[in-house]
């Protein structure tokens, strides 16, 4: 318990039109945790709570062993935070920001910073105000990556980036966890990136955590079964099947708890299993959210 880099327990936060309820999230060193949810689900709010910018109404918030927001100044020595809506000082240059951060953090690695400048195709003399959205995000990421913090909290770090930039960023993020004392929590609605590099995935919708597991378990347990039923009958619903769509004699069942037993169970019930498909994380995400929201 004590070695978790992020430990959220039963966090509630109420706003006028939105509420975070019972958010529990744990990230250990060496992990990349993906935090996925639709817009407005509460990803940014949760990350701001982790940064001590927002105080939870209830529950405990510990980051790097420190209680937030009370110990936020101390915790932030070792946290790197980038959010998609964050802005740098428009009247300064990229280089000014690098020197500013270097003057505050002793862990600044100037050589690595220069490597990142080249890799991200940025220049120190560039004024921030001429940067495109993608370049701004890359600049902000450079500023946190180059000081090698133990924990990175990234709120939509690849949103709005072109594929080349995303590839570069994902590469740098993977480099971070070659050190198994470091960890990353990143929120995204880009499920491709989450699927590729996350170890742990947490789904959030409408302020509630709806599912949380390691990536391989998600990809193993969700399946789509293409079924053929006898005319006029309906396929049975087995535990774990979240959705069955029937049209004529064809049915498609989506399950979140697939085992080798399931197709056999269908066969025994007289239903032919024509095909078994895996789901991409995006499909799992959508199915999970739809199932959580219930009939609309």
Partner 1 sequence: MNRSIVWQVVAKDLFFMRWMIVGAIVAGAGALAVMPQGRVPGYVGAVSLICTLIVLLIFLVMGPIVQERKDKVVLFVLSLPISTTQYTAAKVIANLIAFGVPWLALTIGTFAVVAMSQIPDGVLPFWTAVMGYMFFYYCALLAVGLLSDSAGWHAASIVTGNISVNFLIPFLLARPSLKGNMEGPAAIWSSDILAIVALEFALGIIALGAAFHVRTRKPDFV
Partner 2 sequence: MHSGLLISHADPRPMYLQIIEQIRHRIAIGDWQAGQELPSIRALAASTQVSVITVKRAYLELERDGVIVTRQGKGSFVAEHADLGLQLHRRQLDQHLAEAARLGHVLGLATPQMVERLEAAIGAHQRRGSSEEIEDE
- Which of these ranges, 84-92, 134-142, 169-177, 242-250, lies near partner 2 under the rule CB under 8 A? 169-177
Cα of 40 vs its chain's centroid, Å: 14
User: Quick one: angle between helices 94-104 and 110-119, nearest 10?
Assistant: 150
DSSP structural state of residue 249: T
Residue of 34, 37, 42, 69 that binds partner 1 (CB under 8 A): 69
* Beta carbon nearer to partner 1, 155 or 211: 155
CB atoms within 10 A of CB 80: 24
**Residue written as token pair 């993608």:** 134
Residue 175 binding partner 2, by CB under 8 A: yes
CB 137 within 8 A of CB 161: yes
DSSP structural state of residue 177: T
Would you call 1 exposed, middle or buried from its count of C-beta atoms within 10 A (0-12, 13-18, 19+)? exposed
Residue of 90, 237, 250, 277 that binds partner 2 (CB under 8 A): 277
DSSP structural state of residue 293: H
Residue of 46, 83, 191, 198 that binds partner 1 (CB under 8 A): 83
Distance CA 99, CA 93 (A): 10
Per-residue string for binding with partner 2, 207-226, x by CB under 8 A? -------xxx--x---x---
Containing 4, the helix (H) or strand (E) segment is: none
Distance CA 41, CA 43 (A): 6
* Beta carbon nearer to partner 1, 37 or 80: 80
**Residue written as token pair 């990230």:** 27
Q: Which of residues 43-62 bind partner 2 (CB under 8 A)?
A: none
Per-residue string for binding with partner 1, 139-158, x by CB under 8 A? -x---x--------------
* Beta carbon nearer to partner 1, 149 or 235: 149
Residue 174 binding partner 2, by CB under 8 A: yes
- Which of these ranges, 89-97, 209-217, 258-266, 270-278, lies near partner 1 under the rule CB under 8 A? 89-97
Which of partner 2, partner 1, none does residue 110 bind to, with CB < 5 to 8 Å depending on kind?
A: none
Distance CA 200, CA 190 (A): 15
- Which of these ranges, 47-55, 69-77, 95-103, 175-183, lies near partner 2 under the rule CB under 8 A? 175-183
| Binding positions for partner 2, rule: CB under 8 A | 30-32, 167, 170-171, 174-175, 177-178, 180, 192, 196-200, 214-216, 219, 223, 260, 263, 275-278
């Amino acid at each position: 318990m004590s070695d978790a880099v992020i430990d959220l327990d039963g966090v509630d936060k109420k706003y006028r039109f939105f509420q975070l309820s019972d958010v529990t999230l744990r990230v250990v060193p060496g992990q990349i945790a993906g935090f996925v949810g639709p817009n407005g689900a509460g990803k940014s709010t949760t990350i701001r709570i982790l940064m001590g910018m927002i105080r939870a109404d209830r529950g405990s918030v510990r980051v790097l062993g420190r209680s937030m927001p009370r110990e936020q100044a101390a915790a932030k020595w070792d946290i790197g935070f980038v959010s998609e809506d964050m802005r740098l000082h428009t009247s300064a240059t990229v280089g000014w920001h690098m020197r500013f951060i270097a003057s505050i953090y002793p862990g600044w690695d100037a050589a690595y910073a220069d490597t990142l400048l080249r890799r991200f195709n940025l220049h120190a003399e560039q004024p921030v105000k001429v940067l495109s959205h993608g370049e701004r995000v890359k600049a902000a990421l450079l500023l946190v990556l180059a000081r090698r913090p133990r924990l990175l909290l990234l709120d939509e770090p690849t949103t709005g980036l072109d594929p080349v930039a995303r590839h570069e960023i994902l590469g740098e993020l993977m480099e971070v966890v070659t050190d198994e004392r470091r960890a990353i929590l990143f929120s995204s609605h880009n499920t491709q990136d989450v699927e590729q590099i996350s170890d742990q995935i947490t789904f959030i919708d409408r302020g509630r955590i709806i599912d949380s597991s390691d990536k391989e378990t998600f990809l193993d347990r969700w399946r789509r079964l293409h079924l053929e039923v006898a005319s006029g009958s309906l396929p049975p619903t087995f535990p774990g099947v979240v959705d069955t769509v029937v049209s004529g004699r064809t049915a498609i069942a989506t399950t979140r708890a697939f085992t080798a037993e399931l197709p056999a169970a269908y066969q025994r019930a007289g239903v032919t299993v024509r095909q078994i498909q895996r789901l991409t994380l995006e499909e799992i995400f959508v199915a999970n959210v739809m199932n959580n929201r219930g009939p609309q």
